[in-house]
Amino acid sequence: MTTSVPKRRNGVLSALYALGKGGTQLARTGEATARPSGESGNVAGARKLFVYIASPSFSGSTLLTFLLNAHPDVCTVGELKAGMPEGGNYLCSCGRRLVECDFWQRIVEEHARLGRRFDLNDFGMRFERQPSRWVGKVLGAGVRCSSLELLRDAAIATLPPLRRARDRTLENIETFALAATRITGARVFLDGSKDPFRLKYLPRLKHFKLKVIRIIRDGRGVTNSMMRNEKQSLEASARSVRNMCIQLERMELKLPAEDCTKVYYERLCREPNATLNALYRFLDLDPSRAATDYRGVEHHIMGNRMRLRNGSEITLDEKWRRELSAQDLEVFERIAGDMNRAAGYE
């Protein structure tokens, strides 16, 4: 925990708001891993696993979520951050709305058994959505350079509204993971929310040990998918991909290396079995227990529209190769070429 304490004055709040803007340079400062006291001695096997998929959007996280959910020791609903603003009307991957889905009904009932109320219209699991807007802005800001992150940590440690909101959100996440693992009998809970800033808080879970799977995909593919799906310009998409990768790098530097692994989207599509077996080993799971047809098992997943498709075929999406012009590729190269090469793509 940090020992620096900010003074409560306008300058500090201004700096906190700056967390939500600018500051995209890489911060490799070797700062200590931010962990709450008593949490550093994670004992594998003593606690269930909370597995977090971290990546930019359109990197294959929904596919990986479905594939891992085919293992009986894994349970997931995809992106815990999803569901809003449709709430109970959100379409579960089983084809029913959350309010009509038996699985989600069992989640509500299990929460009641745990003495908690679960509202399908508002999960309360988004750090960035808080009754006080400034609280959500500080907790949910992107991961910035070390000095701003130290400031955020100090603010959370000293300002009760921030601390309470963080702890309440974490408690909601933890209760949900407990309910889901109790219903399914799984010992691994998977959250495919992807955003790097959630990783600031998840190491504080009390009943789960955190492990992180980072998905790497060719930035040209991510950019092209983002342009098509979010109707964004190539420049904005490439900048967004680059910024997200920088944030993921920053976050990964703060986590124990042995609790993080990388998955390459292209390899996952080309060699799914070998890639999944490596992931099962990372998660201490028996590969032989995984279902061979991942679509043949029950799924109740939120997130990318891909969740609503049928069919088990895994198709590598490399549309960018024919959809991006030479000029587009030049623009991408100027904005994010260095990042893409550093990730191993030529």
Q: Which residues bind Zn ion (CB under 5 A)?
A: 92, 94, 101, 103, 300
Determine whether 346 is exposed, middle or buried from the number of CB atoms within 10 Å of its CB (0-12, 13-18, 19+): exposed
Q: Which amino acid is at 208?
A: F
Determine whether 232 is exposed, middle or buried from the number of CB atoms within 10 Å of its CB (0-12, 13-18, 19+): middle
* For Zn ion, the closer CB: 98 or 205: 98
Q: Sign of the CA dihedral 156, 247, 320, 330?
A: positive
Query: Are the beta carbons of 302 and 66 closer than 8 angstroms?
Result: no
Helix (H) or strand (E) holding 162: helix 160-184
DSSP state of 289: G
- Smallest distance from the beta carbon of 322 to Zn ion, in angstroms? 36
- Smallest distance from the beta carbon of 29 to Zn ion, in angstroms? 44
- Smallest distance from the beta carbon of 229 to Zn ion, in angstroms? 23
- Write out the DSSP string of 203-227: GG-SSEEEEEEEEE--HHHHHHHHH
Residue 215: closest CA among 62, 113, 27: 62
* For Zn ion, the closer CB: 285 or 301: 301
Residue 276: closest CA among 178, 179, 190: 190
* For Zn ion, the closer CB: 92 or 213: 92
- Smallest distance from the beta carbon of 101 to Zn ion, in angstroms? 3
* For Zn ion, the closer CB: 91 or 145: 91
Q: Extract the runs of DSSP E, i.e. beta strands, from the chain.
A: 48-54, 74-76, 188-194, 208-216, 260-264
- Smallest distance from the beta carbon of 119 to Zn ion, in angstroms? 17
* For Zn ion, the closer CB: 84 or 274: 84
- Smallest distance from the beta carbon of 307 to Zn ion, in angstroms? 10
- Smallest distance from the beta carbon of 96 to Zn ion, in angstroms? 5
* For Zn ion, the closer CB: 126 or 299: 299
* For Zn ion, the closer CB: 96 or 137: 96
